[in-house]
Amino acid sequence: ELDDLEKDEL
């Protein structure tokens, strides 16, 4: 589900 594991949420 999370391709690049970049998290924009705080």
Interface residue list for another protein (CB under 8 A)? 1-2, 5-10
- For residue 2, what are its two tokens? 């999370």
In the complex, minimum distance from the CB of residue 8 to another protein, in angstroms, rounded to a whole number: 5
In the complex, minimum distance from the CB of residue 1 to another protein, in angstroms, rounded to a whole number: 6
- If you ran DSSP here, which 8-state letter would residue 5 be given? -
In the complex, minimum distance from the CB of residue 3 to another protein, in angstroms, rounded to a whole number: 10
CA-to-CA distance for 2 and 9, rounded, in angstroms?
13
